[in-house]
Structure 1
Amino acid sequence: MMDRDDEWAAEAAEEAADRERKKEAPPPMGHEEFLAWRSPRVVTGGPVRLDNPLWQWLVRTRHSGYGANAVMQGPSSSTAGPVWCFNRFGKSETTLPDGRIVHIAGEHEDYYDPDFYIYNDVVVIDRDGSIAINGYSRDLFPPTDFHSATLVGSTIFIIGCLGYQHQRMVGSTPVLRLDVGTMSIEPVATSGEAPGWIHRHAAELADDGKTIVVRGGELWLGGERTMQENIDAWALDTTTGAWTRLSAQDWQRWTMVRKDRKRNRLWDTRQEHWNHDHASLGLESYWRHAEAPDFDALDALYRVDPTAPPPEQGSDHNIFLATIDGITVRFKEDGWSVQAMVEGRLSDLRLDELKRATLATLEKLDAGEWEIEPS
């Protein structure tokens, strides 16, 4: 694991490499030719080769949609739609034994940005730098992001994705098979107990060379539910398509949300608390709520007993770990919810005390009512 200095050095090196990439001049082309290739293509069947100078330049430079449009002086994406680009999140990269790197799909920007788009293409970069861009129809290869890509022989198994909300199906786990020789894609018929609509997970090929083990990630449980962390492991037999559940953690978990489903104040309060503790820095306050921030409530959050030690910071800025009766309880905050997970089992009495105390403290912080989301 890299220490902080190594992380900073790696980030600085990547920023320098990115600046160097973007020095490459755009391909010589007229405005009409640019407009012809400006936007993502919808094709029939696949693979369909979509090689063109503009997209290959974008693969090499990693320009954002906005940046590419500015360089090429194209029309606003607010009216003309998103610009095709290779600056993506949730894209997988698989290195083949012959040195080719296979980049699968991914998304650009967030849903509210005019250049937001979830891709369903496969870009192959050869060792000599040559680029092949393959497109597919959406019924053959749906828009895919935050999936896993595992090489098994001459096939890459594409498991899971987040995708557009209209394409998600509760309980279903998309599995596709990409032939690295022909670049053809086909769905894999599966059976058994699958993880569900999973994304941001890890996948690893087992020692038997045929089983893919899936761990971590998040599960989509429907439009009215908060994303849920996947705490179990699952195995896919790539020869039969059979899913097997490898674990079933009997952990207590629940999600807390505002009753009005509006954005909560947790991040705002934590920022204001930090500014208060570092007043000597003269930082500007961004508190915009009618009530003053309740720092006492923030300090009491995630404690059943007032004398208990404060929760510790977890691996991420929004993760907090409390120890109750010797058991770790993990809380994950975001702007719309707080997810709680007991890494074991508390007694019914202590669990009820924890739920009531946490809801009461959240209501003080937010000056509004909270509830536990129905499961």
Structure 2
Amino acid sequence: MSDQEDYRRAKREAYEVETQPPATLGRDEFLAWRSPREVLSGPASLDNQTWHWLVRTHLSAFIANERFNGPSSYESGPMWCFDRFGMSQTTLSDGRIVYIGGEHEDHYDPDFYIYNDVIVIDPDGSIHIRGYSRDQFAATDFHTATMVGNSLLIIGCLGYPSDRVAGVTPVYRLSLDTWCIERMTTDGQSPGWLHGHAAELSEDGDSVVVTGGSCWLGERCSMIENIDSWSLNISSGHWTRLTSLDWQQWSMHRADRKFNRLWELRRALWAHENPSCGISDDWKFEDAPNFAELARLYRIDGCEPPADGEECGEYYLVMDGLTVRFTESMFSVDVLVKGRLSTDRLEVLQARTLATLAKLEGIEWEIEPLSVLASDGAD
């Protein structure tokens, strides 16, 4: 056995030891606290051995459930865990770390769940878990938590589809004295149902400035990127739009609204170009992957191929001096022009891209225009 294999085995063994449940945690207590728990009013203490163990180890719901041979999540519902996406983490001046909300897994997973709790870890490792009713604090993920005095201002959220309200930006205030959470009343022109953004306190300390992220526009609409900056006055709760960039955005998707196969195409191309790696392309469609047409995608004027972006599925080109970004997902191709193309050139870009996508998929694609973010709406 090689030194590298010895090292990997030692790491696996150490991980198994570190993540073992405490000897005092029995299966009955595990089952009693296996699932997320709703409370009637908060802040309610939800401290227990099971959840403390999961906070310390960051085990996924699936692995932790297996440790106790727990019931299937398909039958018993999702299991509680601390392995989350979109959870905010704030370190206080005294060394305590405050974690808020977050989600585990994607919507199709049986352990998918969006949390509305607050977890505090003291410098000595002590753990405090507090729960809230959904009326006090909705399921919240991909938000921001900004320190304002002795409180955290929680802004934005993706949340469950049934909780979303187009044009509204949820804002909560968490007291670091009482751990009470209250919804903040706001007015003015807000960024809308925003998530995945950034927020920071202004230099004068009077407001929180919000940038980036994506906004949900409605049930059958694509997300729109937030390209502007917004300010929330802490005292009055008034939103102000700080910028109004005149950029073009739109989304393209299959006419039948089914998943596209761009990811499978690019994986098949990579496997084709790197046969020595021995990785299967996992191509599961009847027709062969059209690599020639894929090479034409986003090459509008016969110029150089588009450059790869920093994120997976992002591609850039420069057209008439303007940067154009294409972002591929399983649902759509989202396009952002940093500026405004002329009407004729915009039509060329859209028509040629749609035609290439249709050849790749064997089905028509269509454009969904994206309206101006939040237009003139108010909370």
Q: In the alignment, which of 304, 312, 315 is matched to residue 320 of structure 1?
A: 315
| Residue type of the alignment partner of 1:89 | F
Q: Which residue of 2 aligns with 1:296?
A: 292
How high is the sequence identity, in percent, across the aligned residues? Answer: 54
Q: Deviation of residue 19 (structure 1)?
A: 2.9
Q: Distance in 2 between matches of 1:207 and 1:27?
A: 50
Q: Deviation of residue 34 (structure 1)?
A: 2.2
Unaligned runs of 5+ in 2: 1-7, 371-379
Conservation of the 8 A alpha-carbon contact between 2:116 and 2:140: yes
Conservation of the 8 A alpha-carbon contact between 1:120 and 1:135: yes
Q: In the alignment, which of 16, 25, 29 is matched to residue 33 of structure 1?
A: 29
Partner SS for 2:221: coil
**CA deviation string 1:233-279 (max 9, x = no partner):** 11111111011111111111111110001111211111111222223
Q: Which residue of 1 aligns with 2:134?
A: 138
Whether 2:111 is the aligned partner of 1:129: answer no
Structure of greater relative contact order (alpha carbons < 8 Å, 6+ residues apart): 2
Whether 2:240 is the aligned partner of 1:248: answer no
Q: Distance in 1 between matches of 2:215 and 2:63?
A: 33
Q: Which residue of 1 aligns with 2:375?
A: none
| Residue type of the alignment partner of 1:105 | G
Q: Deviation of residue 72 (structure 1)?
A: 1.9
| Residue type of the alignment partner of 1:366 | E
Partner SS for 1:373: strand
| Residue type of the alignment partner of 1:262 | K
Q: Which residue of 1 aligns with 2:4?
A: none
Q: Deviation of residue 291 (structure 1)?
A: 1.9
Q: Distance in 2 between matches of 1:285 and 1:87?
A: 30
Conservation of the 8 A alpha-carbon contact between 1:102 and 1:123: yes
Q: In the alignment, which of 330, 333, 355 is matched to residue 335 of structure 1?
A: 330
Q: Which residue of 1 aligns with 2:353?
A: 358
Q: Deviation of residue 281 (structure 1)?
A: 3.6
Whether 2:73 is the aligned partner of 1:77: answer yes
Whether 2:215 is the aligned partner of 1:219: answer yes
Whether 2:368 is the aligned partner of 1:373: answer yes
Q: Distance in 1 between matches of 2:199 and 2:17?
A: 31
Q: Which residue of 1 aligns with 2:257?
A: 261
Give matches, 1:69-218, under 5 Å. Answer: 69-218=65-214
| Residue type of the alignment partner of 1:353 | V
Q: Distance in 2 between matches of 1:22 and 1:260?
A: 49
Partner SS for 2:352: helix
**CA deviation string 1:153-184 (max 9, x = no partner):** 10100001111110000000000000001100
Q: In the alignment, which of 280, 283, 295 is matched to residue 284 of structure 1?
A: 280
Unaligned runs of 5+ in 1: 1-11
Q: Which residue of 1 aligns with 2:377?
A: none
Partner SS for 2:90: strand
Relative to structure 1, is the Cα distance of residues 288 and 24 closer, same or farther in structure 2, using a 3 angstrom cutoff?
Answer: closer
Conservation of the 8 A alpha-carbon contact between 1:22 and 1:62: no
Q: Distance in 2 between matches of 1:276 and 1:74?
A: 42
| Residue type of the alignment partner of 1:37 | W
Whether 2:227 is the aligned partner of 1:231: answer yes
Partner SS for 2:65: helix
Conservation of the 8 A alpha-carbon contact between 1:21 and 1:61: no
Q: Deviation of residue 309 (structure 1)?
A: 1.1
Q: Distance in 1 between matches of 2:129 and 2:270?
A: 47
Relative to structure 1, is the Cα distance of residues 282 and 121 closer, same or farther in structure 2, using a 3 angstrom cutoff?
Answer: closer
Q: Distance in 2 between matches of 1:256 and 1:227?
A: 12
Q: Distance in 1 between matches of 2:304 and 2:150?
A: 54
**CA deviation string 1:288-343 (max 9, x = no partner):** 2222222121111112212x111100111211001111111110001110011110
Q: In the alignment, which of 47, 51, 60 is matched to residue 51 of structure 1?
A: 47
Q: Distance in 1 between matches of 2:23 and 2:38?
A: 23
Task: Name the TM-score, length of structure 2 as normaliser.
Answer: 0.91
Q: Which residue of 1 aligns with 2:340?
A: 345
Q: Which residue of 2 aligns with 1:9?
A: none
**CA deviation string 1:341-363 (max 9, x = no partner):** 11011111101111101000111
**CA deviation string 1:181-200 (max 9, x = no partner):** 11000000001100000001
Conservation of the 8 A alpha-carbon contact between 1:105 and 1:118: yes
**CA deviation string 1:37-68 (max 9, x = no partner):** 11111101110011111111111111111111
Relative to structure 1, is the Cα distance of residues 44 and 283 closer, same or farther in structure 2, using a 3 angstrom cutoff?
Answer: closer
Q: Deviation of residue 33 (structure 1)?
A: 2.4
Q: Distance in 1 between matches of 2:129 and 2:149?
A: 22
- RMSD over aligned CA atoms reads 1.8
